[in-house]
Amino acid sequence: MIKMEVILAKMGEVVLKGLNRRQFEQRMIKNIKYRLVKLGKFRVYSVQSTVYIEPEDDGTDMDAVFEAAGQVFGIISLCRAYSCEKDMDAIIGCARERLRGELMEAQSFKVESKRSDKSFPLKSPEISKMVGGELAESFPHLKVDVHNPGVTVYVEVRDYAAFVHTDPVPGAGGLPIGTSGKAMSLLSGGIDSPVSTYMMAKRGLELETIHFFSYPYTSERAKQKVLDLAKLLTRYCGNLNVHVVPFTKIQEEIRDNCPEEYSTLIMRRSMMRVAELAAKKAGCDALITGESLGQVASQTVRAMGVTGAAVLLPVFRPLVGMDKEEIVKISRGIGTFETSILPYEDCCTVFTPKHPRTKPVLEEVERAESGVDFAALEREALENIETVTVTLHH
Q: What confidence tens digit (pLDDT) does each residue in 148-191 have?
A: 999 999 999 988 899 999 999 999 999 999 999 999 999 998 99
Q: Which range, of 26-35, 153-162, 338-347, averages the lowest pLDDT? A: 338-347
228 and 80 within one domain: no
Query: In sequence order, which residues have a C-beta less than 8 Å from that of residue 371 and are 6 or more positions away?
Result: 257, 258
Domain C-terminal end among 150, 170, 190: 170
pLDDT tens digit sequence for 189-198: 899 999 999 9
b (16+ CB within 10 A) / e for 227-236: bbbbbbbbbb
Residue 300 belongs to a domain? yes
CATH number where 64 lies: 3.30.2130.30
Whether 122 is covered by a domain: the verdict is yes
Q: Is there a single domain that holds both residue 220 and residue 313?
A: yes
User: Within this chain, do residues 186 and 37 fall inside the same structural domain, yes or no?
Assistant: no
Report the percent of the chain where pLDDT is more than 90: 83
Residues with Cβ within 8 Å of residue 108, at least 6 apart in sequence: 142, 143, 144, 145, 148, 149, 150, 151
Domain count for the chain, please give it: 2
The upper half-sphere exposure of residue 367, i.e. CA atoms within 13 Å in the direction of its Cβ, equals 5
Domain check: are 151 and 212 in the same one? no
Instruction: Answer yes or no: is 298 within a domain.
Output: yes
Q: Does the bond joining 140 to the residue before it have cis omega, within 30 degrees of 0?
A: no
- On the question of pLDDT at 136 being above 80, the answer is yes
Within a domain: 89? yes
Give this prediction's pTM. 0.90
Q: Are residues 370 and 228 both part of a single domain?
A: yes
Answer yes or no: is pLDDT of 113 > 70: yes
1 confidence band (pLDDT: 50, 70, 90): very low
| Domain annotation covers residue 177 | no
Domain end: 112, 141, 170, which one?
Answer: 170
CA distance 74 to 56: 23
CATH number at 201 reads 3.40.50.620
Q: Of 170, 193, 227, which marks where a domain is finished?
A: 170
For residue 176, tell me if it sits in a domain. no
* Domain extent for 308: 182-390
